[in-house]
Chains A and B, each alone.
Chain A
Amino acid sequence: MTLILAELAWWQQTSIRVVVGLVAVLIPAGTLVYLHLFKLVSFMQSRLGPMEAGPYGSLQLLAEVGKFIQKEDIVPRRADRFVFKAAPFVVLVSTFLLVVVLPGGPDAFFIDNDLGIYLALAVSSVSVIGILMAGWGSASKYSLMGGLRATGQLIAYELPLILAVVGVVIQAETMNMQGIVLAQADGEIFGWGGIGNPFVITQFVGFAVFMIAMQAELTQTPFDMPVAESELVTGYMTEYSGLRFLLFFIGEFATAGVFSAIAAVLFLGGWYVPGLDPADNLFNVLGPVVLMVKIVGLSFLIFWFRFTFPRFREDQLQRLAWKFLIPIALANIVVTGVLKVLV
């Protein structure tokens, strides 16, 4: 994409990037909602899920969006209006910034930044600000408690998330997302290069920690204390309706998609499939599809856990992060570093 864009004017490049960015965020989000939230979960719970709108209910999501757009946008009387109204957009901004660093093929990427993964982990924290704004601005006790819980939780799980990535960065010797993909495509597992080196094999501990921390970052069950619908109604989203609720909803699933994509790039080789030449131009077309399949596979895990487990209490959740995940991640870094030097 970068090569094609090189000939165009800046505004044209930007327009194309915005459109592709929107598609890259919304298509995975819509797929996840339909495949996982509507269908997979229904089958788990011995239901059929939506069946009426479109074949097998495939257009249900559009109907839902239409419904939410028609609804009245209610702002509680004593809410901090500006903060209340801005909060969903702040959450969504973090999602859209995340997608910027994702590579979809050897030439199909938005930016080629040497600090790629660092940038991703930094902007993912912006959503905390949006959630805290929503919690505070709603002038509701449930929202406030949800916002505070979310903040405590997201800060606690940012750390294992970053530490889990360090192992990958040590192995790939770069923070560039494209570089990480190529490192996996060209790599060898202790001298055997049959399928490259998807880091999920050599960095298995890091992958497990990353997935758990990601589940918490996304506030999905068993870490959904901030929204805990049986206690806090829906936490920081309690007072939202209509379009703004929809934005939170999209934010939730789009972020799940983008985080799955990051995990796919870090641990599953991103757009690469073993057996082909990573420099092949074919990957500029095939790459996004491969990445999408990997996203769906990883997010299946997210939703499988979400609809299977009960939720932790706030203190148990913090204990898990600080007493288990962080020490494990640190030990993983030490082992990875030692092996990197020795092998």
Chain B
Amino acid sequence: MTAAPPAAGEQLRYIAGQAADARVNLEIETEGMTLNIGPQHPATHGTLRIVAKLDGEQVIAAEPVMGYMHRGYEKLAEVRTYPQVTTLINRIDWLGSFANEVPFILAAEQLMEVEAPLRAQWIRTALFELSRIANVTLFLGDMAVQVGAITPVFFAFRDREHVLNQIEAATGGRFHPNFDRIGGLKDDLPAGWAAETKQALKKIRNFCDQIEELVEGNEIFQARTRGIGVIPAKVGLGYGLSGANIRASGVDWDLRRDAPCGLVHDQLDWRVWTHPDGDSFARFWVRLQETREATRMVDQLLDGLPPGPIMAKVPRIIKVPAGEAYVETENPLGIMGYYVVSKGDLAPFRVKIRSASFSNVSITPWLLKGVYVPDIITILGSLYFILGDIDR
């Protein structure tokens, strides 16, 4: 796998072309049109609505409108006990549910001064990475749908199924495992799980190769995504972009490596992928590499699984001592964090959920200015958001 060459010249030409178009449009004094994309539209995965002011097919201004799926988890969490909160937060990023639970549980563990046993930490990390695979494989197929090729998404659903089966075998829940507990995990792994999971991972690697040939290597796909939706690193950081979106802009920053907290990524052999371009293609490319990397990580985790208990000694009725803790992890969609304020009660006093997609999508008004209507879709697709993760 060689890194794709930077397409700086292409970007400049594209930007210059946009400027020229804008001049032409000024000269002939066209009248604007407002196009309402969503909340029910095939491309918005859920209920995001984009109000775009158009001049011809060029976007003058675009404003995302959300809240169609706002469920008020921050308020609801204040009247739930700590174990009950994980049921809610499972539904934030519903494609990688287990990863949502981890930072919250880690924050609660930090407040309670308990630490999960080593085996639980390893299994946690394995499930964390499996949910990343389950999440990102769908993106890899879906991105192709956004640019008009509908076949890859079927491959994505087919191979994602194997991973979901493994998550279900281990946790009992396909989409919403609710498996993480303060102090460890609900159960140990079933017998034979590791071998089966390795088979599933092989299929995922095969899927990644297919996607590479079918989508990434396709000239039309590259023509549609190269130089489109370029996010310079500085702008991306200011908007709080995270995950593959910021790594595709050349920022070498991954919390799994740089701020390991309760997960065992620091004991594995893996690397952080970055891409210098910052365009839609770069975001796709980085996610593809990260999926491969995740399969390698899970393989190592399964090989090195330490024996031992899976649950630390915690009281059956959990009261978290007063204090504040913030834990953020590198979730499939980007950085997800929970700021938990406890007053020594059964329920948290306040939970601030920092979800990745909310910040990732907040760049769209800046990013969509001046692009064409077809590019709105590829840019939104490449930013990769889950509505539940925006609206919470």
Contacts and interface: CB of A to CB of B under 8 A. Distances in A.
A and B touch in the complex (CB under 8 A): yes
Nearest to A229: B42
A228 interface: yes
| Residue among A222, A309, A310, A311 with max Cβ neighbours from chain B (10 Å) | A310
A230 B154 contact: no
Interface stretch (A21-29, A43-51, A175-183, A244-252): A43-51
Contacts of A316: 220, 223-224
A303 to B, nearest CB: 11
Nearest to B147: A310
A231 B149 CA distance: 13
Interface in A303-323: 307-316
B315 interface: no
A310 B224 contact: yes
A217 interface: no
A310 B158 contact: no
A308 B149 contact: yes
Given A230-B377, A314-B374, A221 B148 contact: yes
Nearest to A44: B151
Interface string B127-146: 00000000000000000111
B375 interface: yes
B151 A228 contact: no
B41 A312 contact: no
Contacts of A230: 42-43, 145-148, 377
Contacts of B42: 229-230, 233
B253 interface: no
A233 B44 CA distance: 11
Contacts of B147: 230, 310-311
Contact of A312 (B57, B144, B154, B223): B223
Interface in B223-272: 223-224
B218 A310 contact: yes
A232 to B, nearest CB: 8
| Residue among B145, B373, B374 with max Cβ neighbours from chain A (10 Å) | B374
A224 B150 CA distance: 12
A143 to B, nearest CB: 12
A81 interface: no
Contact of A47 (B41, B154, B220, B223): B154
Contacts of B375: 313
B158 A228 contact: no
A311 B373 contact: no
A316 B149 CA distance: 16
Nearest to B145: A230
A71 interface: no
A230 B141 CA distance: 14
A307 B151 contact: yes
A101 interface: no
B373 A231 contact: yes
Contacts of A310: 144, 147-149, 215, 218, 220-221, 224
22 contacts: A45-B155, A141-B33, A141-B36, A142-B35, A224-B148, A225-B374, A230-B147, A231-B373, A231-B377, A232-B373, A233-B42, A308-B214, A309-B220, A310-B144, A310-B215, A310-B220, A311-B220, A312-B220, A313-B372, A314-B372, A314-B374, A315-B372
Interface of B: 33, 35-36, 41-43, 57, 144-151, 154-155, 158, 214-215, 218, 220-221, 223-224, 372-377
Interface of A: 41, 44-47, 141-142, 145, 221-222, 224-225, 228-233, 307-316
